[in-house]
Amino acid sequence: MNIALFSDSYLPTKSGVVTVVMQLKRALEHAGHHVVLVTVTTKTELSPEEEKNILHVPSFLSPVGDNQYVGNPFEKSAIDFCRQHNIQIIHAHTEFSLGHIARVVGRKLNIPVIATTHTMWEDYYRYYLKMGRIIPKAVIRRIVHAAYKHFYALINVSQKARDYFKEPYILPSTPSAVIPNAIDTERFKERKVTESDIKKIRSQFGISDSDRVILYVGRVVEEKRVEELLTVLCRVVRNTEHAKVLFVGDGAALQILKDRVVEEKLTQKILFAGFVDWACLAPYYEISSVFVTASLSEMHSMTVLEAMCMSLPIVCRRDTSFTDTVFHGENGYFADTDEELDSYLAELVSDDKKAKRMGERSFEISKTFSLSVHVNRTLAFYNAVLNSFPKPISDDVLKEAVASVLCKGTVPSGS
């Protein structure tokens, strides 16, 4: 199959969308499919092999978001690029500039264009636009409707995402199915964590063998409720012996958090690693006892999947984006309020046996989110679309196609 992926997010940006797109491209290619990527032009420098079959459209740094680029929506080079590669289906991972280009290419070449819904836009507008907090939800929903209405079908990364996009006045009639995000466990763990790696990180941050680390990995931005999380963590490290916190990630709120930690006189207990390349993350998970997030804006968290893959229990706020990954009392805890996070974190930091038992359960659950299963389901979705296009397709057809893929099996070979 000849497949084109379109994305407004690309390396060196660290985000769930970049991870999803790059691992999907590699996995589809490994299975024998021909895959091209149309994306923005960034400052990254990759090898010719890494840049193979990638078209970069002229772009500029976005005034909103965190290290995000916007491609020229009127760029026409993608039409010839996709024609030359005999593309059969376009899979957009964006709804705006590159998403617009994807839809134009689809119309010109008469091929289906589908999209994955990665973003909870009501939260994004609230945090990233200066006037976002006063824009009525109805207006935001009309914008979302306009951005997505011309896609042939949608892939939702969670039931939360599907429920949102099925709401009245958004896209209740656009056919869709749920395909959860996945993690490439082999690639994530291909660099074995050594004792030297662990000692180096412990030494760098002053973490002793008796310390128990509460880990946050992700963008350090207001959207993720990191300031509210820090308030919780300040209480936990003050009241819990041997508890330390490590924030891994960069973002607009990082300096705000650092300044607060200085004010609270907790610089020895709440630590900041800054940006860490994805290939080097495993040791940070390895030294930790529990993973925490207070975010309520997730669609389907990639860092939660990474933490589970590394056998960590998860403590998070109750949110439907986590209902297929976190099972209360089994591999972590749901907190109904920020205050409830305190007791759950203190419990796991103070009880190594319980943390280990829950972490082992996390690892078992993470196996159901393998990359091979994800790619199988995505290919089943593609095939259902190609079999129906240009006629309309139904939710039931897409749902049955995805459900036909079992949680075990190999990725289909190219055709």
What pLDDT, in 10s, does the model give residues 243-296? 999 999 999 999 999 999 999 999 999 999 999 988 899 999 999 999 999 999
pLDDT band at 413 (very low <50, low <70, confident <90, very high): very low
pTM recorded for the entire structure? 0.86
Helices (H), 64-120: 77-84, 97-109
> Looking up tokens 């994305």, which residue turns up?
7
CATH 3.40.50.300 fits 185-368, yes or no: no
pLDDT of 64: 59
Domain limits, CATH 3.40.50.2000, in the chain: 2-182+370-403, 185-368
Task: Tell me the three state secondary structure of residue 267.
Answer: coil
115 pLDDT higher than 70: yes
pLDDT of 30: 94
**CB contact at 8 A, 315 and 292:** yes
Q: How far is CA 143 from CA 72, 93, 132, 368, in A?
A: 19, 17, 13, 34
For residue 358 the two structure tokens come to 């829950």
pLDDT of 300: 92
pLDDT of 216: 99
Residues 330, 323: Cα–Cα separation, whole Å: 12
- Give me the CATH topology for the region 2-182+370-403: Rossmann fold (3.40.50)
Arithmetic mean of pLDDT, 125-130: 57
pLDDT of 129: 56
User: 218's torsion region: left (phi>0), alpha (psi -120 to 50) or beta?
Assistant: left
